[in-house]
Amino acid sequence: MILVAGSANLDFVVRAPHIPAPGETVLGRDFRTFPGGKGANQAVACARAGGAVTHLLLALGDDAFATPIETSLQAAGVQMHLVRVKEEVTGTAFICVSDDAENAITVAPGANFALHGVHLPPLDGFSHLLLQLEIPLLTVTAYAQAARAQGVRVVLNAAPAQTLPAQLLGLIDLLIVNEGELASVANHQGSMAECLAQIKVPCVVVTLGSRGCWARVGNSLIHQRAFQVIPIDSTGAGDTFCGVLVAALSQAQQRHQALQQSMPTALRLASAAAALACTRLGAQSSIPTQAEVTEFLATQTDSTDDPSHGPNPHA
């Protein structure tokens, strides 16, 4: 059983030929709203694509923006621990998606910043606590401290990118970052290997988009190649990866598998789910089912690699 604690937003999405440069106005096309927010996205991915029993601690305003978010979470089977904040609006994100499936996102946190340490529910029965950085950093640290004290594994997706205090890093069992976030957390602009050496966390997963992902488990490196798809919208793909990865690791822990043994399979499942998410519009709306992930993988030959046969992790 997994507890996700984090943000929930209503995404306002415009498709356009390209993402505007500073000072540029671009004539867009389609406009739609989608349930989003890193915490909510990752919870839906844990439950829908990962097949795990999933709870979500979230804060929403008392407004119309909250309704589609709650509906989406309920449909995915996520059990909500909801903090209703009447004096704040529900969090929102404004997203431009380009024709090459890239995106630019601006988030207005709203009610998300009303989550505090006192809101954390009892942690009995949870194997993992999954956190992100769209809620206050002090709150993230308080949740991590509580989980560590109760023997719950702490997973942090360090997004949006920022430098993290040593106190928080010392509480993390698994850190998930992309290249930019890795450099921010390491406070170093060198190679991936140099950045990883700066981070004193037992396990770090680095996502590299079309170049796949790497996991450092202790002193060992594991590489997973990316699955080839025709992307439409990459929004939510990283969150899908995080949710499915943690779901797979939680299920492996229940089978008493060691992390180094379970990580290759978890990376493959997470990468497949993220690839499928790129072929659909929206964040939560793009997350595949567990059956779709299984069916997709049955058609693939990609597998995890020994580091000596994959891309150079020092590059």
Output the tens digit of pLDDT for each of the chain's 315 residues. Answer: 999 999 999 999 999 999 999 999 999 888 999 999 999 999 999 999 999 999 999 999 999 999 999 999 999 999 999 999 999 999 999 989 898 888 888 989 999 999 999 999 999 999 999 999 999 999 999 999 999 999 999 999 999 988 899 999 999 999 999 999 999 999 888 888 889 888 989 999 999 988 999 999 988 899 999 999 998 888 889 999 999 999 999 999 989 888 888 999 999 999 999 999 999 988 899 999 999 999 999 998 755 454 434 444 444
What is the signed CA dihedral for 197, 201, 202, 208, rounded to 10 degrees? -70
Question: pLDDT value at position 149?
Answer: 96
pLDDT of residue 302: 57
Strand ordering across the sheet containing 91-98: 31-36, 9-16, 91-98, 103-108
Question: Could you report how far apart the first and last alpha carbons of the chain are, in Å?
Answer: 37
Yes or no: say if 176 and 228 are a contact pair by the CB < 8 Å rule. no
What domains are defined for the chain? 2-8+36-90+111-309 (3.40.1190.20)
Provide the annotated active-site residues: 239
How far is the C-alpha of 76 from the C-alpha of 78, rounded, in Å? 6
Q: What was the pLDDT predicted at 94?
A: 93
CA distance 236 to 312: 27
* Cβ(272)–Cβ(293) below 8 Å: yes
- Quick one: pLDDT at residue 35? 95
> 259: Cβ–Cβ under 8 A, 6 or more apart, which residues?
203, 217, 249, 252
Local structure of 84: helix, strand or coil: strand
CA angle 99, 102, 108 (to 5 degrees): 120
